[in-house]
Amino acid sequence: MPPLGADFGERFARERRPACQLYLISPPTIDAAFTEQLIRALGEGGVAAFQLRLKGIDDHAIAALAPPLQRACADAEVAFIINDSIGLAKRLGADGVHLGQDDGDPREAREILGKEAQIGVTCHDSRHLAMEAGEAGADYVAFGAFYPTTTKETQHRPDHAILTWWQTLFGAPCVAIGGITPDNARPLVEAGADFLAVSSAIWSGDPAERVRAFAAVMRG
């Protein structure tokens, strides 16, 4: 492993961090009725970001579906994040992009999207990947899948301690993802997750009710 720059990372007082917030991930496919569901979910407050993650369709088709969702996010002052594609994030004027390990370099994303963009990076269960992402200028690192999920096939199953490690040592926020429900979320909050990224547990029921259930767990 290459040595990491001595200037990377700062000791970060836990009490200076804002309370844990929700980071909503779209269902893998959506229909015209989805905007209404999103508006209901965002109307509850406590949601920091919404990621448009549509699998199996091209950027052109995603761009056609995005405007009402992007407007709903802007109205609720929620960050609108595009999954996978730096080019699509630029084209839509999104607030940021989420990059998997094969989706491009955060430095390139920064050059294209500018200094205000929120750039997140998937780090699976790897401290090494997280430090690399931090060095490359990521605004947040994402660890998961913490629990079994059918939304994405993944073999990575981090220990909750990776959240505590990150939060204790580094300034950028960390996101926990994967199979999170109101029933299993509390240990992730206690371990130090700054954001809980959730898809199926929000959209499989009444989204407003589900956001309220998460909010209660996050308050403790």
Ligand X SMILES: Cc1ncsc1CCOP(=O)(O)O
Ligand Y SMILES: Cc1ncc(COP(=O)(O)OP(=O)(O)O)c(N)n1
Q: At what angle do helices 59-76 and 34-42 cross, to 10 degrees?
A: 30
Interface residues for ligand X in 143-172 (CB under 6 A)? 144-145, 149, 151-152, 154
Using CB under 6 A as the binding rule, whether residue 198 contacts ligand X is answered as: yes
- Rounded to 5°, the CA angle 15-125-99 comes to 85
C-alpha span between 205 and 133 (Å, rounded): 34
Instruction: Identify which range of 60-68, 102-110, 128-136, 141-149 contacts ligand X by CB under 6 A.
Output: 141-149
Using CB under 6 A as the binding rule, whether residue 178 contacts ligand X is answered as: yes
CB of 203 to ligand X, least distance (A): 8
Residue 35 is labelled as binding a ligand: no
Q: Which helix (H) or strand (E) holds 41?
A: helix 34-42
- Contact string 10-29 vs ligand X (x = CB under 6 A): ---------------x----
> Amino acid letter at 157?
R
Please say whether the beta carbons of 88 and 103 come within 8 A: no
Instruction: Identify which range of 2-10, 72-80, 142-150, 182-190 contacts ligand X by CB under 6 A.
Output: 142-150
Label residue 49 exposed, middle or buried (CB < 10 Å: 0-12, 13-18, 19+). Answer: buried
The smaller minimum CB distance to ligand Y, of residues 37 and 118, is found at 118
What is the contact surface with ligand X in residues (CB under 6 A)? Answer: 25, 144-145, 149, 151-152, 154, 177-180, 198-201
Residues belonging to the binding site are 51-55, 83-84, 103, 122, 149-152, 179
